[in-house]
């Protein structure tokens, strides 16, 4: 059977590995989502024109990334 110290060290190694990797993965995916959403957006002039034509005021308008 494993010594309890070895088990605790393995558990710590497993935990610290994921606590190190997950923030980097999350920030990387967030950057990827921003890049992909910006690439799908229309230019600001056409969205502004479309919103004015729809009758919404600037305070009612949504994010330029809203679909």
Output DSSP code: residue 55: T
pLDDT at 10: 93
pLDDT at 65: 65
The string of DSSP letters for 4-39 reads HHHHHHHHHHHHHHHHHHHHHHHHHHHHHHHHHHHH
Query: For the whole model, what pTM was predicted?
Result: 0.38
pLDDT tens for each residue of the chain, 67 residues long? 568 999 999 999 999 988 888 888 888 888 888 888 888 775 555 555 555 555 555 555 566 665 5
Structure tokens, 56: 């919404």
């Amino acid at each position: 059977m494993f010594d309890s110290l070895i088990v605790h060290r393995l558990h710590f190694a497993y935990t610290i590995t994921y606590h190190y990797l997950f923030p980097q993965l999350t920030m990387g995916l967030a950057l990827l989502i921003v890049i992909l959403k910006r690439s799908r957006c229309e230019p600001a002039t056409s969205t502004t024109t479309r919103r004015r034509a729809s009758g919404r005021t600037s305070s009612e308008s949504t994010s330029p990334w809203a679909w």
